Structure 1
């Protein structure tokens, strides 16, 4: 076991047990907080913009649903793009049986074919595992 003669945070002389590392709780807490901050991976600045884009896409798609149930919509892609929809931002990908790649924004799925966007809502199928 290592023997410390000075506080690991402030450097003051230690009195008491031979295995003591800090002179008081404040030094211990401050030292450990600094250690955690140095190990912490910072949240990328662009991630906030991506999250906002995903939220905006969700709101644009969800605004088309007036029924509150499972729906299927086919519309012109340009109508969605004009409202600020950005197809490159989504939460996951779902493959259909016929190898169609549907992009998911939580419980909403969209598929782009030419200048059309096809949208499905799977109420109750979105679950966090």
Structure 2
């Protein structure tokens, strides 16, 4: 057998054209290489967000649960009430998912699902709020500290 007959023909991974040149070449030109890699990265980005509808569903469920705690006996001076963490968990509340986090003037952190928030008072108890305006919040730029990573 002749060695020339054993040469395998390679095709471009992007367009399928016959590749001429080095044996380890994967693309016919830089345009095909860039297009292929761009499409691959785009597909990977979309895979990262595959669970986004599920996360939004959890946040929406948390919001609905917090919304049920709007008792008429809230006074104008106080917009917070206490609730057992176990009670929230029993209703399906997931403490890991929220839309924002803010610090109040007392240094306590409030987590919000849109306009309804909670603050954990120890492990078994939470304060709830249905009025962001009633909580004295510190502007974000006063408590967010970004430190550079060390090499």
TM tier relative to shorter chain: 0.5 to 0.7
Q: Does 1:85 align with 2:93?
A: yes
In the alignment, which of 54, 58, 63 is matched to residue 53 of structure 1?
A: 58
- Aligned residue number for residue 111 of structure 1: 119
The ranges of structure 1 where at least 4 consecutive aligned residues each deviate by more than 2 angstroms after the TM superposition are 38-43
Q: Distance in 2 between matches of 1:65 and 1:73?
A: 9
Superposition RMSD on alpha carbons, in Å?
A: 2.9
Q: Distance in 2 between matches of 1:84 and 1:72?
A: 21
Q: Structure 1 unaligned segments of length 5 or more: list them.
A: 1-37
Aligned residues: 91
Q: Structure 2 unaligned segments of length 5 or more: list them.
A: 1-38, 135-151
- Aligned residue number for residue 65 of structure 1: 70
Q: CA deviation at 1:124?
A: 6.8
The secondary structure found in structure 1 opposite 2:51 is helix
Q: Distance in 2 between matches of 1:49 and 1:73?
A: 29
Instruction: Tell me the TM-score normalized by structure 2.
Output: 0.51
In the alignment, which of 93, 102, 105 is matched to residue 110 of structure 2?
A: 102
Give per-residue Cα distances to partners, 1:73-115, cap 9 Å, x unaligned. Answer: 1011100001100011000011011110110111111011220
The answer (yes or no) to whether the contact 2:110–2:118 under 8 Å persists in 1 is yes
Q: What pairs up with 1:17-28 in 2 under 5 angstroms?
A: none
Q: Distance in 2 between matches of 1:118 and 1:91?
A: 17
Q: Write 1 or 2 for the structure with the bigger share of strand.
A: 1
